[in-house]
């Protein structure tokens, strides 16, 4: 197999525009006879679905939830980036492009990222036109805020619910096309295999999760918009149902997996509270606009906090270590996520964690609440010498308006009031930069099979900047794929629909059915969650925020043992011909186990540190990630051969427009 990234020739700045204007088109009459299957209904899936249906294609959309509106894009909090330069702070397409490449630690493709930056502005326009109620200033203009890894304000938002508002916008476009009969929607359906015919992807096998029936669906092309695989860690900020199954099935049928070890650990999540924990909750990065992160300087204070004799507020200013501001004066609390997470781990490993578990740092709003917002309001009210109490009260109102829902959620989960005492946070698995390898057209190594949004590997390199996931999902779905798919479909206009009685469909369905029966017939002694938790523990300890060769080798053998145990000792109650949640989970965890092994293998082979991939053996004297551009400036695309057997293909990354350097946020 040869990787062809299909990046068009020409100047970076005009590449996309030129390509878009020359890529083959499909005429409207032919579009009506071309069928496209879309798996997943998040930002990428919904936006692609409505756009393709508007263009005239016949579209079917599948999601495992009870409605397209539930996809996990809904939970994105902070915002969406766009190079609009509305704040007049010097932003531009080039700057967004540069920040994203640098933030990704020089492990993303220049051409893809530049295209993303180019269409970013259109996304905001499109969303506003479709009724997304973004935050606004009193003059009626859109409001912006800052996110990590940038020095401009380019993040558009709707309180702490930006993902919800964007998804509901895309979902309404999708439902509109459902009403018009251009999209057929299959909710509570899970894709369990792809069907390849003559080397092209031509359909899927899906299970109706209510009746348990297996269904065959033909498509001239298939789009996987199925999100990331953070749940391989068991505990993550992903939704409970988020899974890798669709991508993994495609991988086993020939789609190479790109950079599987690139995982984003988000610095600001609510710490683990106990062994009952089923998921972790993010506290938006936008909080780092106004929250300052610290731990005590003195061990005595740490002990006092842990035994409850002191609260965060009792520790005087001089005894606090604002370690991000100390280590990275230029970016301070707004360093990128990987840097912030590692810095938190460093302090906690050194013994300064502020909770009983030792795994928490403070995110403190008191300073900005009083002296930034409180003062502003006081000035507006004409109060020249406000009291401390007045400042707090005024500031609280402003903070409430900006982050109210996040503060409420924090209180709900922890039982503590973050307006009164500093939040406790700790890093948690949040996003996966790795995913199915795709070319410039977003096509995987299986012709006709595409991957969009978090499901592909393409735009974030080794670390994603905040508020860029929503941007990428919508860019892929609204403005990239609907054009690039023409390159493939224009050659398919004479391909008739293949009847699903074709033997490739028959075989694929038979395999899926056998797999389901195997799960039910093992009749072992342990639940799916037992295996999932064990896998998560291996992954977090050995392939989490810090990795080393020895640990990764152990992890690989531990995962192989766990896989054997899974297939011998799993217990799944119930039947296949009914709504069976345990059966659904079993299939997902089986795939996570295999993926876990590949992630460790990828992490082990990459003898460098970059972005979210931190190998302890490769760090600077100051503890920063040390890249090895000479040997690892490539995308690792893994081709599945057999159980525990993959072949590595390398796509060299070429930087013609950016001088690559050691990343510095100091």
**Distance in Å, CB of 472 to other proteins, minimum:** 16
When the beta carbons of 277 and 644 are compared against other proteins, the nearer one is 277
When the beta carbons of 144 and 333 are compared against other proteins, the nearer one is 144
φ, ψ for residue 641, nearest 5 deg: -110, -50
**Distance in Å, CB of 496 to other proteins, minimum:** 28
**Distance in Å, CB of 596 to other proteins, minimum:** 15
When the beta carbons of 253 and 526 are compared against other proteins, the nearer one is 526
When the beta carbons of 138 and 630 are compared against other proteins, the nearer one is 138
Tokens 């010097």 identify what position? 90
When the beta carbons of 174 and 516 are compared against other proteins, the nearer one is 174
Instruction: Count Cβ neighbours within 10 Å for each residue of 106-133 and write b for 16 or more, e otherwise.
Output: bbbbbbbbbbbbbbbbebbebbeebebe
**Distance in Å, CB of 228 to other proteins, minimum:** 14
- The Cα–Cα gap between 235 and 445 comes to 31
When the beta carbons of 133 and 623 are compared against other proteins, the nearer one is 133
**Distance in Å, CB of 579 to other proteins, minimum:** 5
When the beta carbons of 173 and 434 are compared against other proteins, the nearer one is 173
| 231 in Cβ contact with 238 (< 8 Å) | yes
First to last CA, the chain: 43
When the beta carbons of 150 and 284 are compared against other proteins, the nearer one is 284
What is the SS3 string spanning 204-265? EEEEECCCCCEEEEECCEEEECCCCCHHHHCCCCCCCCCCCHHHHHHHHCCCCEECCCCEEE
When the beta carbons of 100 and 182 are compared against other proteins, the nearer one is 182
When the beta carbons of 104 and 228 are compared against other proteins, the nearer one is 228
- The Cα–Cα gap between 249 and 503 comes to 18
DSSP 68-86: GGGSGGGG--S-EE----T
| 362 in Cβ contact with 312 (< 8 Å) | yes
Tokens 């996809």 identify what position? 71
Residue 265 pairs in a beta bridge with 429
When the beta carbons of 571 and 634 are compared against other proteins, the nearer one is 571
Residue 185 pairs in a beta bridge with 61
Token pair in block for residue 346:
């460093």
Residue 383's contacts (CB-CB under 8 Å, 6 or more residues apart) are 390
**Distance in Å, CB of 526 to other proteins, minimum:** 7
When the beta carbons of 389 and 575 are compared against other proteins, the nearer one is 575
Tokens 């890798």 identify what position? 244
**Distance in Å, CB of 324 to other proteins, minimum:** 25
- The Cα–Cα gap between 12 and 47 comes to 26
- The Cα–Cα gap between 476 and 46 comes to 11
* Element containing residue 292 per DSSP (H, E): strand 292-296
Q: Count the neighbouring beta carbons within 10 Å of the beta carbon of residue 310.
A: 17
**Distance in Å, CB of 224 to other proteins, minimum:** 19
**Distance in Å, CB of 483 to other proteins, minimum:** 10
φ, ψ for residue 472, nearest 5 deg: -70, -45
Number of alpha carbons in the 13 Å side-chain half-sphere of residue 115 = 29
Helices 528-543 and 581-605: crossing angle, nearest 10°? 20
φ, ψ for residue 283, nearest 5 deg: -110, 115
**Distance in Å, CB of 137 to other proteins, minimum:** 7
When the beta carbons of 162 and 196 are compared against other proteins, the nearer one is 162
When the beta carbons of 206 and 335 are compared against other proteins, the nearer one is 206
Under DSSP, the state recorded for 546 is: S
**Distance in Å, CB of 84 to other proteins, minimum:** 7
Q: What sign for the dihedral angle of Cα 292, 296, 301, 306? A: positive
- β-pairing, 58-62 vs 183-186, is parallel
**Distance in Å, CB of 205 to other proteins, minimum:** 22
* Element containing residue 509 per DSSP (H, E): helix 503-522
Helices 43-55 and 162-179: crossing angle, nearest 10°? 30
**Distance in Å, CB of 551 to other proteins, minimum:** 17
**Distance in Å, CB of 590 to other proteins, minimum:** 17
Q: What sign for the dihedral angle of Cα 148, 149, 153, 158? A: negative
* Element containing residue 362 per DSSP (H, E): strand 361-364
Number of alpha carbons in the 13 Å side-chain half-sphere of residue 554 = 12
When the beta carbons of 125 and 300 are compared against other proteins, the nearer one is 125
When the beta carbons of 84 and 94 are compared against other proteins, the nearer one is 84
When the beta carbons of 122 and 392 are compared against other proteins, the nearer one is 122
Helix, strand or coil for residue 499? coil
**Distance in Å, CB of 216 to other proteins, minimum:** 22
Helix, strand or coil for residue 153? coil
Q: In the β-sheet with 361-364, what is the strand arrangement from edge to edge? A: 263-269, 423-432, 361-364, 292-296, 320-321
**Distance in Å, CB of 530 to other proteins, minimum:** 6
**Distance in Å, CB of 537 to other proteins, minimum:** 5
């Amino acid at each position: 197999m040869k990787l062809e990234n299909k990046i068009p020739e020409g100047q970076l700045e005009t590449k996309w525009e030129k390509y878009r204007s020359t890529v083959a088109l499909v005429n409207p009459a032919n579009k009506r006879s071309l069928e496209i299957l879309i798996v997943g209904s998040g930002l990428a899936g919904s936006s692609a679905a409505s756009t393709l249906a508007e263009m005239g294609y016949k579209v079917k959309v599948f999601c495992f939830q009870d409605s397209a509106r539930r996809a996990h894009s809904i939970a994105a909090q902070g915002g969406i980036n766009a190079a609009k330069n509305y704040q007049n702070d010097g932003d531009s397409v080039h700057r967004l492009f540069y920040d994203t490449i640098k933030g990704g630690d020089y492990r993303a493709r220049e051409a893809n990222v530049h295209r993303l930056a180019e269409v970013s502005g259109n996304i905001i326009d499109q969303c506003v036109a479709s009724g997304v109620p973004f935050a606004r200033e009193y003059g009626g203009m859109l409001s912006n805020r800052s996110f990590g890894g940038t020095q401009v304000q380019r993040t558009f938002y709707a309180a702490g619910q930006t993902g919800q508002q964007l998804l509901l916008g895309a979902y309404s476009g999708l439902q509109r096309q459902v009403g018009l009969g251009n999209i057929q929607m299959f909710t509570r359906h899970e894709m369990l295999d792809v069907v390849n015919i003559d080397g092209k992807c031509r359909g899927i096998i899906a299970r109706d999760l209510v009746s348990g029936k297996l269904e065959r669906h033909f498509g001239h092309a298939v789009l996987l918009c199925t999100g990331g695989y953070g749940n391989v860690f068991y505990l993550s900020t992903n939704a409970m149902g988020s899974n890798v199954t669709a991508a993994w099935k495609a991988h086993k049928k020939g789609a190479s997996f790109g950079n599987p070890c690139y995982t984003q650990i988000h610095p600001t999540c609510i710490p683990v509270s106990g062994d009952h924990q089923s998921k972790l909750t993010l506290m938006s990065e936008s909080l780092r606009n106004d929250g300052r992160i610290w731990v005590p300087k003195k061990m005595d204070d740490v002990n006092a906090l842990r035994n409850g004799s002191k609260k965060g507020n009792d520790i005087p200013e001089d005894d606090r270590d604002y370690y991000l501001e100390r280590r990275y004066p230029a970016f301070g609390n707004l360093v990128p996520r990987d840097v912030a997470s590692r810095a938190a781990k460093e302090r906690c490993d050194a013994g300064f964690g502020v909770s009983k578990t030792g795994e928490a740092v403070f995110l403190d709003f008191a300073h900005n609440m009083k002296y930034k917002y409180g003062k502003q309001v006081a000035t507006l009210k004409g109060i020249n010498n406000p009291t401390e109490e007045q400042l707090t009260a005024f500031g609280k109102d402003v903070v409430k308006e900006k982050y109210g829902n996040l503060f409420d959620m924090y209180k709900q989960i922890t039982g503590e009031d973050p307006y009164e005492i500093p939040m406790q946070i700790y890093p948690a698995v949040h996003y996966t930069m790795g995913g199915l390898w795709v070319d410039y057209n977003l096509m995987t190594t299986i012709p006709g099979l595409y991957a969009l949004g978090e499901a592909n590997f393409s735009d974030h390199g080794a670390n994603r900047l905040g508020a860029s996931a929503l941007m990428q999902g919508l860019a892929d779905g609204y403005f990239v794929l609907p054009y690039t798919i023409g390159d493939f479909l224009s050659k398919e206009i004479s391909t008739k629909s293949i009847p699903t009685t074709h033997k490739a469909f028959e075989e694929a369905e038979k395999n899926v059915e056998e797999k389901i029966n195997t799960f039910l017939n093992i009749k072992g002694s342990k639940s799916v969650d037992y295996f999932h938790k064990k896998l998560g523990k291996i992954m977090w300890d050995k392939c989490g925020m810090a990795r080393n060769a020895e640990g990764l080798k152990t992890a690989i053998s531990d995962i192989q043992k766990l896989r054997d145990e899974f297939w011998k000792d799993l217990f799944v109650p119930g039947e296949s011909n009914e709504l069976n949640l345990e059966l659904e989970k079993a299939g997902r965890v089986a795939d996570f186990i295999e993926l876990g092994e590949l992630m460790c293998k990828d992490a082990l082979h990459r003898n460098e540190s970059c972005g979210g991939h931190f190998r302890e053996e490769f760090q600077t004297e100051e503890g920063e990630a040390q890249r090895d551009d000479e040997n690892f400036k490539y995308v690792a695309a893994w081709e599945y051969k057999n159980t525990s057997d993959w072949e590595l293909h390398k796509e060299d990354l070429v930087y013609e427009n950016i001088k690559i350097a050691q990343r510095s946020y100091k």
